[in-house]
Amino acid sequence: MMSIQTLEQFIIEQQAQFPTAKGEFTRLLQAISLAAKIVHREVNKAGLADILGKHGNCNVQGEEQQKLDVFADNHFMDALKRGGECCYLASEEHEDGIDLTKGKHYRLGKYMVYFDPLDGSSNIDSNVSVGTIFSIYKRKTVEGELDKEDFAQSGRQQVAAGYVIYGSSTVLVYTTGRGVDGFTLDPSIGEFCLSHPALTIPKDGHVYSVNESNYNQFSSAIKHYLQYCKEIDPTTNRPFSSRYIGSLVADFHRNMIQGGIFLYPATVQYPKGKLRLMYECNPLAFIAEQAGGKATTGRMPILDIDPKELHQRTPLIIGSEKMVDMVEKYIHEYADVETSLV
């Protein structure tokens, strides 16, 4: 009979490889997994409880909050505050981050956590997969209040990142820069169990994910790439299949398993891109690269972007390496045709 390794056991085993580790990071990941279990429970009984529908407020992006947005945000915030490992928390649902080095929430923690508590929540009423995305940094300053250098860290300086997808099963995927591992929640024992060890994304694929209703707002390069995807060519398995769920985590996770590419490029309406760098693009880019994939704006790696503000937006092209390379080839080829969008 195959032995089962839980997330907690896996984390402790990994921690043992670092004799100087004090357990703070282990407790931080345990807090994230606890909050994910609570959100899983609510998502799975959403049709039976008064948890569906709009909350009545808008977040900082001007998007209508769903009740589950607020529920997930509250529980992740509470779990991350409680242990004392964090010095800063930032969420899609708040205009400003919470600096835990001052005020009533004072903590001496060393970790900064950025997260999207419920990505794709507008789909929850339709019973479509949704997810949580998180990104973890270690503060640069040693003590006292946080400084600008703590907030100026690029995605390359993440110490960990991950996501949770709440679908037919609930799966937590994360990396600490030593590969990618996935854990599936076993409801019978209430534990995440290792199900996808050493997860890698196929080098190539035949699925593309993009909101094609924005086609007329795309650059010439992106339009030509999408035409390439639809051309018949048996040697490259084209035409490719179009699969777009509308939940970033769900689209990304499918491509991680099967191979493929997700595109949310710049548009006329969003010339700087629409997805958020700190708590959507950076963590998924870190995971993609650790799994052998690639993530870019079309002109530069996502992880090399210098952050300027908490809710900074960026174009995102992410997935199987060869497919991303092809998009970059088109962007380079049409650079002189249209320079306003990538």
57 band by pLDDT with thresholds 50, 70 and 90: low
Question: In this predicted structure, what is the pLDDT of residue 257?
Answer: 96
Percent of the chain at pLDDT exceeding 70: 89
Q: Is pLDDT of 53 > 50?
A: no
154-169, pLDDT tens digit by residue? 999 999 999 999 988 9
- Taking CA 266 as the corner, what is the angle to CA 261 and CA 272, rounded to the nearest 5 degrees? 125
88 contacts 141 by C-beta, under 8 angstroms: no
Residue numbering of the annotated binding site: 92, 116, 118-122, 211, 244, 274, 280
111-137 per-position pLDDT tens digit: 999 999 999 887 777 778 999 999 999
Lowest-pLDDT range of 61-75, 211-225, 241-255, 288-302: 61-75
What pLDDT is attached to residue 63?
A: 54
Q: Is 3.40.30.10 the CATH number for 207-333?
A: no
Question: 194: how many CB neighbours lie within 10 A of its CB?
Answer: 16
126, two tokens: 């339709």
The arithmetic mean of pLDDT across residues 68-75, rounded, is: 91
Nearest to 319, CA basis, from 269, 256, 271: 256
Q: In b/e form, how buried is each residue of 284-306, taking b as 16+ CB within 10 angstroms? A: bbbbbbbbebbbbbbeeebbebe
Q: From the annotation, which residues make up the binding site for substrate?
A: 119-122, 211, 244, 274
**280 pLDDT more than 90:** yes
> Is residue 56 pLDDT above 50, yes or no?
no
Topology annotation, domain 7-196? Fructose-1,6-Bisphosphatase; Chain A, domain 1 (3.30.540)
The whole-number pLDDT of residue 102 equals 80
Q: What is the residue extent of each domain of the chain? A: 7-196, 207-333
Taking residues 80-108, report their average pLDDT. 87
What predicted TM-score, i.e. pTM, was given to this entire model?
0.92
294 pLDDT more than 50: yes
Q: What angle do CA 210, 215, 218 make, to 5 degrees?
A: 95
Q: Which residues are annotated as a binding site for Mg(2+)?
A: 92, 116, 118-119, 280
